[in-house]
Amino acid sequence: MKELRTEIEIQASPEKVWQILMDFDMWPEWNPFIHTVIGKPETGENVDITFRTASKEMTLHCVIVKAAPNQELCWKYHVIISGLFRGEHSFIIEPMGTDRVRFIDREIFNGLLVPLQAKDIDSHSRRGFEEMDRALKIRAEQT
């Protein structure tokens, strides 16, 4: 198992951050990491996520396992077969007072191929998470 976690404080309400996350059609406009999400942001729905790092572009076929309004959006996926490489990505919104939240961007990776991908996860994927977090902060604080 490997975990990647980033977080950022955002001067916006949980509702505002949630609204931005739920508008998948607008992600290409502001998100430099996950630039396309096709599907509905509802528990049990299948979504296709296309992300881009410095080393690759990839589309993952995911299922949303949690969509708790103003709190958490989570999806799971696997590549080829689940024993080789699978992930669970969560976006967590923690209130920190009036119109201020901690946004946690977290993914847990499992499978036989994870050790082979560890360096890429620690560098390119981490950078992608951080770029997305900053872009979300800018969008939430401007609108």
For 39: left if phi > 0, alpha if psi spans -120 to 50, otherwise beta; the answer is: left
Whether 143 has a pLDDT exceeding 90, the answer reads no
Given this model, what pLDDT does residue 55 score?
73
Given this model, what pLDDT does residue 52 score?
87
How many degrees, rounded to 5, is the angle at CA 7 between CA 5 and CA 10?
160
Given this model, what pLDDT does residue 54 score?
77
Q: Considering Cα of 124, then 125, then 130, then 136, what sign does the dihedral take?
A: positive
Given this model, what pLDDT does residue 43 score?
97
Whether 53 has a pLDDT exceeding 90, the answer reads no
Cα–Cα distance, 132 to 31 (Å, whole number): 6
Query: Over the stretch 21-46, which tens digit does the pLDDT of each residue have?
Result: 999 999 999 999 999 999 999 999 99
Q: Cβ of 127: how many Cβ atoms within 10 Å?
A: 15
| 21 contacts: CB under 8 Å, gap ≥ 6 | 41, 73, 91, 136
Given this model, what pLDDT does residue 60 score?
95
Q: Considering Cα of 40, then 43, then 48, then 51, what sign does the dihedral take?
A: positive
Given this model, what pLDDT does residue 20 score?
98
Domains in the chain, number: 1
Query: Over the stretch 78-133, which tens digit does the pLDDT of each residue have?
Result: 988 889 999 999 999 999 988 999 999 999 999 999 999 999 999 999 999 999 99
Q: Closest Cα to residue 105, out of 85, 125, 79, 78?
A: 125
The CATH number of whichever domain residue 40 belongs to comes to 3.30.530.20
H or E element that contains 25 = none
Given this model, what pLDDT does residue 133 score?
98
Residue-number span of the structural domain to which 130 is assigned: 2-142
